[in-house]
Amino acid sequence: MLDKADGDAAAALVFAKLVDAFDDPHLQLNPGPPPQAATLMPRQSNIAGPADATNGCEAEHNSDGRAATRLPYPSAPGWTAISDGPFQAGLIGDIGIIRIPSFGESRYLAACKTARKPGMDSRALQLATREELNRQLIALVGTLRGRGMKRLAIDLSRNGGGSEWSTEAAALFTRGRLTRQEPRRVGPACDRSGIWKGERPACTAYAGAATTEWVESDGPPAWTGPLAILADRDTASAAEEFITWLRDNKRAKMGGEKTFGAGCGYMDGGNAFAFKAANIHLMMPNCSRFTRDGNNEIEGQAPDVTIDWATLKPADVEAALSSLF
């Protein structure tokens, strides 16, 4: 296809088709040179590197987080709405539901405006926004508990991921420490061209042996009662990491559909490949995450209880949710 390309645009289209074939949203073909600050980006962050945030939250952020669920629980008998954003929430009987539409801090404009202080750079703004979002989640759980919640379901449908905030958020819903296998980072460069011929490369894919990482909440947990996670085929990346933290530690069950399978993504900004013959670059994921049972998250995560959200009738929602506890 490259030999037949009659210009840069046609050649770029060839590479775009190649990238699409991997079906990995972290593998991205972008115009221009690679970002200079890529190695300074936090793991899995979607914020484009450190920069002064003097332009305000509107320049750094692109939406207000209010993304209504597509799941049928708001139409279920007995649904009582508690919040419509940025975290949609409510009750069905004694089951509380909180929707987290994204783990990207850049999706929450109002929280950014609350958290922003003069002189903050992008990283400081990101962390301050995350702290504000955690505060809102904790307060919302308290409100639901005060309204009689005995069981809690976290709705991650259409949550395409974001940053390492997913790890901090998972720690809010448990007492004590969560542990899991640390992401495996891509090993040193070597000749892997044999892969295209069906051969195994002589070098290992990963750098170093598998190790364990942990996380725990800085303060009292928001919720330690029965917990479930609702996911669909568009639940991806950092949202899948949130699921792994809680399922690997037997803290929650997942209900719904098999997740997208976006995998680990980027550590310290990922790897960037600059093309010499065209003004484009390729951002490549540089790590893998494995669950406790050895499943690579790039394969997606199968639910503990399968729920077909498209055919689930509102009258059956409460029973379907109850099956997760």
Identify which of 35-49, 244-258, 275-289 has the greatest average pLDDT.
244-258
Average pLDDT, the chain: 88
User: Is the CATH code 3.30.565.10 the one for domain 25-189+203-322?
Assistant: no
- Mean per-residue pLDDT for 136-151? 98
More confident residue, 80 or 55: 80
Q: What are phi and psi of 178, to 5 degrees?
A: -100, 140
Give the per-residue pLDDT at 230: 98
Q: What are 194-234's pLDDT values in tens digits?
A: 888 888 877 888 888 889 999 998 889 999 999 999 999 99
Do 288 and 206 contact (CB within 8 A), yes or no? yes
Q: What are 148-185's pLDDT values in tens digits?
A: 999 999 999 999 999 999 999 999 999 999 999 999 99
Model confidence at 52, pLDDT cuts 50, 70, 90, reads very low
Q: Where are the domains of the chain?
A: 25-189+203-322
- DSSP for 74-140 reads GGSTT-EEEEESSSEEEEETTEEEEE---B-GGG-HHHHHHH--TT-BHHHHHHHHHHHHHHHHHHH
Give the per-residue pLDDT at 60: 59
Q: Which residues contact 293 (CB under 8 A, 6 or more apart)?
A: none
Per 3-state DSSP, the chain is made up of helix, strand and coil in percentages (nearest 5) of 30, 20, 50
Give the per-residue pLDDT at 290: 94
280: part of which helix (H) or strand (E)?
strand 280-284
> Which residue is it, tokens 């997740």?
259
Q: Which residues contact 79 (CB under 8 A, 6 or more apart)?
A: 73, 90, 91, 92
Q: What are 62-99's pLDDT values in tens digits?
A: 677 778 899 999 999 999 999 998 999 999 999 999 99
Give the per-residue pLDDT at 64: 78
Model confidence at 59, pLDDT cuts 50, 70, 90, reads low
21: part of which helix (H) or strand (E)?
helix 8-22
The gap from C-alpha 78 to its chain's centroid, in whole angstroms, comes to 31
| Residue 52 Rama label (left phi>0; alpha psi -120 to 50; beta) | beta
Amino acid at 169: A
More confident residue, 42 or 12: 12
Give the per-residue pLDDT at 45: 38
Do 292 and 181 contact (CB within 8 A), yes or no? yes
